[in-house]
């Protein structure tokens, strides 16, 4: 994954990225790495790559809010947890089949988004951020305290990945599961690209830039923001289902502040309002978290420090930084 | 009462400067730890209170002049993110430095034991907290509404640009207010240490309570913060006692209701 950033930097001098000349070859190179790399590394690393994709899905959804609609949410992990818990409860406690359970889990995350959105969209800007944080905390509190349903701090374990009858491979194989997630990821990324370039997506960006003007042009800006909030929650639900199958267990830690902060950092760091930004962010933040936890157990410090550095020095994220021509860089 | 002291500091920094200081409760947490450290060295409770509060005021000044001042006031998101990063860093640093156990600060001798109030016996230290909270509320209110500096602060809350243009040194005022807000956080941290203890995660826990107070009470309003602190603390304690399953959840219910009907808080001005 680092390779593509190096290449990106070479193109920076001439500002090629601004014209999109590098976007296609870079994307293809990244895709090639994404397809080929799992065959050369241990299953443990394949699982990390799967994790990257799962969080990338969460971050892409969040980016619709942060980058395209201008609504900074710090509670996105609640939707991931909602999807994961719904899936685990339906399968383990109620014996529902995999496919209906997964669809219900995604719908449940969307429903949670519909409820949270009603409350959070009373505010804008930093207050909006605080409210999403508070709402996510209450979701965490429910997961943590409602023992009989959620298993309390033990969470729910013993989930197994579905068996797809006509396929010759077992989902329990790290690589097979990785490719399933990769396909879902690519489909969602593609759908996201269509979404943000659609009239709906353009209206969102208009709202981000000037809500008042959009309203006076006759747009029901609240409804647009509300729908964006729910769509972001649905992305979170998908990420939750995929993550639950990846670890084959759910714990209340998934709804904590830290994963929400990680997701927001992926967006801010990669480049808010860009399609690939959150993916790059996820490809950096997830492995960094693994490394920091593996060696030092001091992930919070590292995460906090990355936040400070990104905010101070790269407000537009990596993609924004690459896109700017050399002359603007000083500013 | 404790919550009031904590959130009053937050309220004035938010109301005046539009800075949402996510690290505010880090100062609360660190204030408690610093207070305990001072107490272990000197065995003086009052010195611990002073050092904890002043220490956090200094920390707040460093944070503000070193980092936050770089951003313009319209850019609230970077400030939130930056202070959030600081919150994460300080939480982890505190965990390294003081470990994961609950630490307590023993109250001074004359505040130990109970106090007889008719048929009830009430812990003296809590009584002291209530009284000092009330005193602080009155002092803050007098300060804001009756002194020259207070009226400058109010002018800044209402309209920073106009205040600047009629010759008030807003940058200096901002620094002072931010330092003062952090001082209140540190003060609350030390005063709360004998009662609640100091432990990792306290910062996140109180952060949500404090922000609930701000949202319910309205930013920049001392009276609002006072009323809201009472409401939030009462609701929180009540549900934790009688409906323990809903403990965390209860804080957000009034917040959501208030937001639905009065987006600027009970006594807040529109932002």
Q: Are strands B114-117 and B120-123 parallel, antiparallel or unpaired?
A: antiparallel
Q: Is A217 exposed, middle or buried (0-12, 13-18, 19+ CB in 10 A)?
A: exposed
Q: What is the pLDDT of residue B12?
A: 64
Shortest CA distance from A148: residue in chain B: B245
B205 pLDDT exceeds 50?
yes
Report which of residues B269 and A195 the model is more confident about. A195
CA distance A141 to chain B (A): 6
Residue range A61-86: mean pLDDT, rounded: 88
CB atoms within 10 A of CB A299: 20
A100-112: average pLDDT? 90
| Whole-number pLDDT of residue B267 | 56
Does A76 score more than 80 pLDDT?
yes
pLDDT at residue number B265: 59
pLDDT over threshold 50, residue A315:
yes
- Which is more confident, A252 or B271? A252
Q: How far is CA A104 from CA A82, A85, A156, in A?
A: 11, 11, 17
Q: What is the pLDDT of residue B260?
A: 62
Q: Does B243 touch chain A (CB under 8 A)?
A: no
pLDDT of residue A2: 34
Structure confidence at residue A230 (pLDDT): 93
Residues in B touching A268 (Cβ below 8 Å): 81
pLDDT exceeds 50 at position A6: no
Choose the closest CB to B89 out of A257, A304, A311: A304
CB of B96 less than 8 A from some CB of A: yes
pLDDT of residue A234: 93
Print burial letters for A275-288: b (CB count within 10 Å at least 16), e (below 16): bbbbbbbbbbbbbb
- Under the banding of pLDDT at 50, 70 and 90, the label for residue B268 is low
Lowest mean pLDDT of A88-92, A197-201, A228-232, B139-143, name the range.
B139-143
Among the ranges given (A320-329, B236-245, B254-263), the one the predictor scored with the smallest mean pLDDT: A320-329
Minimal C-alpha gap between B263 and chain A (Å): 7
From A116, which residue of chain B is nearest by alpha-carbon distance? Answer: B256
The gap between the terminal CA atoms of chain B, to the nearest Å, is: 26
B47-67 per-position pLDDT tens digit: 777 777 777 777 777 777 777
Which tops the pLDDT comparison, A41 or A328?
A: A41
> What residues of chain A lie within 8 A of the CB of B244, using their CB?
145
pLDDT at B220: 61
Mean pLDDT, residues B174-196: 77
As a whole number, mean pLDDT of residues A316-329 equals 61
Angstrom distances, CA of residue A3 to CA of A6, A7, A32: 5, 6, 12
Cα–Cα distances in Å, from A304 out to A298, B16, B157? 10, 26, 30
* A169's tokens: 């491979």
Q: Please, which residues have CB within 8 angstroms of residue B82's CB and are 6 or more apart in sequence?
A: A307, A308, A311, A312, B67, B68, B71
Q: Which of A80-89, A115-124, B232-241 has the highest mean pLDDT?
A: A80-89
Tracing tokens 């209340």 back to the chain, one arrives at: A252
Confidence of residue B28 (pLDDT cuts 50, 70, 90): confident
Burial of A146-177, coded b for 16+ CB within 10 Å and e otherwise, reads beeebbeeebbeebebeeeeeeeeebeebbbb
Does the pLDDT of residue A49 top 80, yes or no? yes
Q: What is the pLDDT of residues B209-225, one digit of tens each?
A: 777 777 777 666 667 77
Q: Does B172 touch chain A (CB under 8 A)?
A: no
Confidence (pLDDT) at B136: 77
The arithmetic mean of pLDDT across residues A76-104, rounded, is 87
DSSP A162: P
User: Which range, A103-112, A268-277, B114-123, has the best average confidence (pLDDT)?
Assistant: A103-112
Nearest residue in chain B measured CA to CA from A310? B82
In chain B, what's the furthest Cα-to-Cα distance? 59
Lowest mean pLDDT among A80-84, A106-110, B93-97, B113-117: B113-117
Of the ranges A135-149, B116-130, B249-263, which is most confident?
A135-149
- Write down the pLDDT at residue A111: 92
B270 conformational bin, left if phi > 0, alpha if psi -120 to 50, beta if neither: beta
Give the mean pLDDT of chain A: 79
Query: Smallest Cβ distance to B249: which of A131, A138, A268?
Result: A138
User: Could you tell me which residue, A324 or A255, shows the higher pLDDT?
Assistant: A255
B235 inside 8 A of chain A by CB: no
Note the pLDDT tens digit of each residue in A196-247.
888 888 888 888 888 888 888 888 888 888 999 999 999 999 998 888 888 8
Residue A132 has pLDDT above 50, yes or no: yes
pLDDT score of A15: 40
Q: What's residue A80's pLDDT?
A: 92
* Cβ-Cβ contacts under 8 Å, A70 against chain B: none
Query: Could you tell me the residue ranges of all domains in chain A?
Result: 44-259
Task: Quickly list DSSP for A207-266.
Answer: HHH-HHHHHHTT--HHHHHHHHHHHHHHHHHHHHHHHHHHHT-B-GGGGSHHHHHHHHHH
- Helices and strands: H and E segment counts in chain A: 16, 0
Q: Which pLDDT score is estimated for B138?
A: 78
Query: Which of the listed ranges A97-101, A156-160, A291-295, B155-159 does the model predict with the highest average pLDDT?
Result: A97-101
Domain boundaries, chain B: 2-108+125-197
pLDDT score of B118: 64
Highest mean pLDDT among A180-184, B148-152, B160-164: A180-184
Q: Between A and B, how many residue pairs show a Cβ–Cβ distance under 8 A?
A: 106
Question: DSSP state, B103?
Answer: B
B255 chain-A contacts, CB cut-off 8 A: 131, 134
Across the interface, do A141 and B247 touch by the CB < 8 Å criterion?
yes
Q: Which of residues 37-66 of B touch A (CB under 8 A)?
A: none
**Chain A residues 35-94 with CB within 8 Å of chain B:** 72, 74
Instruction: State the virtual CA torsion across A224, A226, A232, A234 in degrees, nearest 10.
Output: -110
Residue A326 confidence (pLDDT): 45
pLDDT(A12) > 50: no
**A129 and chain B in contact, CB less than 8 A:** yes
| Chain A partners within 8 Å of B76 (Cβ) | 125-126
Give B3 to chain A, closest Cα distance, Å: 17
Quote the tokens at residue B73.
């006031």
Residue B183 forms contact with A (CB below 8 Å): no
């Amino acid at each position: 994954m680092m390779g593509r950033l190096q290449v990106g930097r070479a193109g920076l001098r001439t500002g090629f990225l601004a014209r999109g000349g590098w976007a296609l070859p870079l994307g293809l190179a990244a895709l090639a790495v994404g397809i080929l790399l799992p065959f050369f590394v241990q299953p443990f690393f394949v699982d990390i790559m799967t994790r990257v994709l799962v969080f990338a899905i969460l971050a892409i959804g969040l980016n619709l809010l942060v980058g395209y609609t201008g609504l900074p949410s710090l509670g996105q992990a609640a939707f991931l947890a909602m999807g994961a818990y719904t899936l685990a409860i339906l399968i383990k406690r109620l014996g529902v089949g995999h496919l209906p359970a997964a669809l219900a889990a995604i719908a449940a995350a969307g429903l949670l988004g519909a409820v949270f959105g009603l409350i959070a969209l009373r505010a804008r800007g930093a207050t909006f951020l605080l409210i999403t944080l508070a709402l996510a905390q209450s979701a965490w509190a429910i997961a943590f305290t409602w023992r009989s349903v959620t298993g309390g701090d033990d969470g729910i374990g013993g989930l197994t990945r579905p068996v797809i009858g006509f396929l010759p491979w077992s989902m329990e194989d790290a690589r097979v599961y990785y490719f399933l997630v990769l396909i879902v990821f690519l489909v969602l990324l593609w759908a996201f690209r269509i979404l943000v370039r659609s009239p709906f997506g353009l209206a969102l960006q208009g709202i981000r830039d000037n809500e008042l003007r959009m309203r006076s042009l006759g747009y029901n800006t609240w409804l647009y923001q509300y729908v964006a909030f729910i769509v972001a929650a649905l992305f979170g639900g998908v990420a939750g289902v995929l993550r639950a199958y990846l670890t084959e267990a759910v714990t209340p830690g998934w709804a904590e502040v830290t994963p929400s902060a990680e997701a927001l950092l992926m967006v801010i760091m990669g480049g808010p309002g860009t399609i690939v930004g959150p993916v790059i962010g996820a490809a950096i933040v997830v492995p960094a978290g693994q490394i920091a936890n593996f060696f030092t157990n001091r992930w919070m410090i590292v995460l906090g420090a990355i936040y400070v550095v990104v905010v101070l020095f790269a407000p537009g994220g990596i993609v924004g930084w690459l896109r700017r021509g050399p002359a603007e860089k000083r500013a | 009462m404790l919550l009031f002291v904590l959130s009053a500091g937050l309220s004035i920094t938010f109301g005046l400067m539009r800075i949402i200081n996510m690290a505010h409760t880090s100062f609360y947490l660190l204030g408690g730890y610093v207070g305990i450290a001072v107490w272990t060295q000197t065995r003086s409770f009052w010195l611990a209170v002073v050092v904890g509060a002043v220490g956090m005021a200094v920390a707040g000044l460093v944070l503000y002049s070193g980092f936050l001042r770089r951003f313009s006031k319209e850019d609230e998101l970077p400030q939130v993110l930056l202070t959030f990063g600081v919150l994460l860093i300080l939480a982890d640093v505190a965990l390294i430095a003081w470990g994961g156990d609950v630490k307590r600060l023993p109250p001074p001798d004359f505040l130990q034991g109970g106090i007889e109030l008719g048929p009830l016996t009430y812990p003296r230290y809590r009584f002291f907290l209530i009284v000092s909270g009330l005193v602080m509320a009155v002092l803050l209110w007098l300060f804001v509404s009756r002194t020259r500096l207070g009226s400058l602060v109010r002018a800044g809350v209402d309209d920073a640009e106009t205040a600047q243009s009629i010759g008030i040194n807003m940058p200096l005022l901002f620094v002072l207010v931010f330092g003062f807000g952090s001082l209140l956080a540190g003060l609350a941290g030390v005063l709360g240490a004998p009662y609640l203890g100091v432990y990792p995660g306290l910062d996140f826990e109180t952060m949500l309570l404090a922000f609930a107070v701000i949202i319910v009470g309205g930013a920049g309003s001392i009276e609002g913060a006072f009323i809201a602190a009472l409401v939030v603390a009462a609701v929180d304690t009540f549900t934790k006692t009688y409906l323990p399953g809903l403990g965390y959840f209860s804080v957000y219910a009034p917040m959501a209701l208030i937001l639905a009907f009065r987006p600027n808080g009970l006594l807040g001005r529109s932002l």
